[in-house]
Every structure is written in C-alpha cells, then in structure tokens.
Amino acid sequence: MDCKKAELFLLRSLDGRTTPEEKARLQAHLESCSSCRAKDAEFRLIHDLIRPRTAPEPLPYFKERLLAKIKGKEKSAPAFLWVKWAHRAVAFSLAAFLFFGAGILLLRTQDPLELSQTERFLLQDENPLDEAASILDQKKAEDRNMMLIFASVGDSDVSRRYRP
Amino acid sequence: MDEKELIRRSQAGDGEAFGVLVERYKSKVFSLVYGFTRDRTAADDLAQEVFIKTYYSLPKFKSESGFGTWLYRIAVNHAKDYLRKNKGRQREVSLDDVGEQALTAENRSPEEKRLEEGRRRVIQDALARLPEKDRVILTLRDIEGLSYDEISGILKLSPGTVDSRLHRARRKLREKLAGRLDWQGGDHGL
C-alpha cells in the first residue's frame, strides 16, 4: 500500500468506514511508515478536539422568546398574514368564478332562433329553385305574371301565394 | 404527539404545536449554528431567526424529506448567510467559551487541561479560516456528528461527494494547523 492510499484509509477510519481487511492493511503500513504514523496521529488529534466537550445550550426561555417574537410579528404586520393566505384565496376565488360561470352557461334557457333564408336553404334542405320552377311551369302568361308579383313582395310562405 | 401531526397543526397556525417542535429541535439547531459562530449570544439570535424562518416557510414544507433534514437545511443556509455577512469579523474563541469545557475534564492535571484548552482554541481558529464549503461539511460531520446520509440530504449532495468533500476539508484543516499544534503532547499519539 502506498501513502496516498493509506491517507484515504485513515481518513475513512475516522468515521469507522473501513473494512477489517482495510484496517489490517492500514495498520501494517503505519507500522512501517513513520510519516503516515505522524499524519494519523494529527488527524486523530484534530478529530478528537474539534468537537466541544459539552454541547452548548441556548440562552434561557428560548421557546418563550421565540413564540413571543412570532406573535409580535403577526400582530404588527397583519398584512403578512394576508400574504401568507393570499395565494390560497386567489386560487379559491378563481375556482369559484369558473364554477359559477360554467353553471350559468349550462343552465341558461335557449331562446328559439329564427333562421335566415340561407340557413333555411342549408340546414332545412330547402331548394330555392323549387319556387322559380313552379312559376316557370305555368302555361298561361297571366298566371306566371301574378305569381312573380306575389314572389316579389317577399312572402316567404310559398303555400300562401297565388295559385292559378 | 406524532411529529406529522405537530407539523400539520403548525402549518395551520397552531403556535402551541410549533412550540413542541421548537422544544424538540432547539438544542440541535443551536449547536449547529454555534459551530459556525462560536458565540453563544450570536448563536442564540441565529437559532431564533432559523425557527422564525421555518415557521413562515411551513406551508411550503412537503414531507418528502424529513422535518429534521429540512430544518437543518434552513439552519445551514442561514448560517452560511451569517458567515458571508460577517466575513473577516469572526470573533476569536474566548476563554469563557472553552474554559468551562476544559474545567469539566476529569482526571486531568491543570497543565493537561491548559494544553487541551489551547489546542481546542487553535483548531477552532483554523476552522474559522477555512473556506465556507469546508467549514460547513466539517461542522456537520465532525462537530455535529451527522451521518453521511443526513449530510447528503441537507446539502443535496451524493454520499460520494460528501465523502470526497469531507476528506478534502480535513486535509485542508490539517495543513492550516501545520506547525501550530504540539502534536506530540497529550495521549493522542500512537
């Protein structure tokens, strides 16, 4: 084992992350390498002394001071609370608007629609040439003329028009 | 009470439930930020700010990561901000901070206690001079004793990156201490 590998193993050994085999190999290397032995001692000394002997504790009444601060903040800045809930309020308003809007559209009573002449031709399959053909079929010129006069006054109901 | 229930209640604005969470985690959070500040008053202020930030961020908390990991992440990020703002103004470790600890050492002669106390101060001083990245990982692992998995979750790094970053930080700290510690003293040699 070279010194580079030994350094890796001794750093891992500080966390107990070496296998028994790696530990044995490291030990064998340390016995024959004074430089790595010194390095090992230095790493272990730092590792032992870096952590405080006793864990420091927060100053007294930590929780009480904290909760009082939060309460104070909420009292002095009600706008902050509004901001806290604003995103929920906006989402709720939007959902309500969409829900009622959709409901109104769905429940609205349909007004009867009056079709235009073109729509009648297209949707109700009426043939505009039927009327012209019936006029042109008349043998008497008088009848033809009378039918033309009635057609020109715009009576849409062909059945009520002049019939010879 | 179950932690999930406490979190749910705190999210709904229940101060009492949040108080229970504070009681559970205050020592850990304080200890973590103390590792960065080395000053009890500053650490106390910082820990309070961490919990206030946590309280107002609770609506965003999703239990994908544990609450502890999430809280630690907030604390680490807050401590990093503190370190950036106070760069170069770091207070040296006072005798009051370490003296108390040294006095509790049992079965040690006064000379041994003084030696250990001096070494701790030198190490803390060297740690404070390391780059932020190295300082954070050494604080989480070597001071706080968090597991690789916990550090991995807090810093959002893979365990492999935690491993290599930790080794690099330990090497740097040793280099910084070269010639400053009496390595042969005490019982730390082989």
> Is A150 in CB contact (< 8 Å) with chain B?
no
pLDDT value of residue A50: 93
A68/chain B closest Cα distance in angstroms? 10
Backbone CA torsion sign across A144, A145, A151, A155? negative
Which 3 state secondary structure label does DSSP give B33?
helix
pLDDT value of residue A111: 62
Whether A57 maps to a domain, the answer reads no
Q: Is the pLDDT of residue B109 over 70?
A: yes
B83-87, B119-123, B183-187: the lowest-pLDDT one: B183-187
Q: Which residues of B touch A51 (CB under 8 A)?
A: 142-143, 145
Whether A54 maps to a domain, the answer reads no
Backbone CA torsion sign across A23, A27, A33, A34? positive
Chain A nearest-CA residue for B187: A45
In chain A (164 residues long), the average pLDDT of successive 10-residue segments reads 93 94 95 94 94 87 95 73 68 86 78 69 71 80 83 61 59
> Is B59 in CB contact (< 8 Å) with chain A?
yes
Whether A66 maps to a domain, the answer reads yes
> Is B25 in CB contact (< 8 Å) with chain A?
no
* Cβ-contact B82, B37 below 8 angstroms: yes
Counting every residue written for chain B, the total comes to 190
Whether residue A35 is found in the same domain as residue A11: yes
User: Mean pLDDT, to the nearest integer, of B122-148?
Assistant: 94
Structural domain count, chain A? 3
pLDDT value of residue A76: 74
CATH topology for B129-176 is Arc Repressor Mutant, subunit A (1.10.10)
pLDDT value of residue A77: 66
Residue pLDDT, tens place only, B8-63: 999 998 989 999 999 999 999 999 999 888 889 999 999 999 999 999 999 989 87
CB neighbour list of residue B59: distance below 8 Å, 6 or more residues apart: A84, B11
Q: Does the B3-85 domain belong in CATH 3.40.50.880?
A: no
pLDDT value of residue B99: 42
Domain around A7:
3-49
User: Mean pLDDT, to the nearest integer, of B142-146?
Assistant: 93
Q: Do B19 and A67 touch (CB under 8 A)?
A: yes
Whether A12 maps to a domain, the answer reads yes
Question: What is the domain partition of chain B in residue ranges?
Answer: 3-85, 129-176
Q: Which residues of B touch A42 (CB under 8 A)?
A: 174, 177, 181, 183
Instruction: Quickly state the pLDDT bin for B90 (edges 50, 70, 90).
Output: low
**Across chain B, what does the average pLDDT equal?**
85
Diameter over CA atoms, chain B: 58
User: Mean pLDDT, to the nearest integer, of B103-132?
Assistant: 83
Whether A9 maps to a domain, the answer reads yes
Q: ipTM value of the model?
A: 0.81
Q: Do B188 and A45 touch (CB under 8 A)?
A: yes
User: Mean pLDDT, to the nearest integer, of B92-115?
Assistant: 60
B11/chain A closest Cα distance in angstroms? 11
Q: Do A45 and B120 touch (CB under 8 A)?
A: no
Residue scoring higher pLDDT (B159 or B65): B159
Q: Do B15 and A67 touch (CB under 8 A)?
A: yes
Chain A nearest-CA residue for B98: A52
pLDDT value of residue B187: 43
Chain B nearest-CA residue for A42: B183
Whether residue A21 is found in the same domain as residue A45: yes
Whether residue A22 is found in the same domain as residue A45: yes
Whether residue A100 is found in the same domain as residue A66: yes
> Is A44 in CB contact (< 8 Å) with chain B?
yes
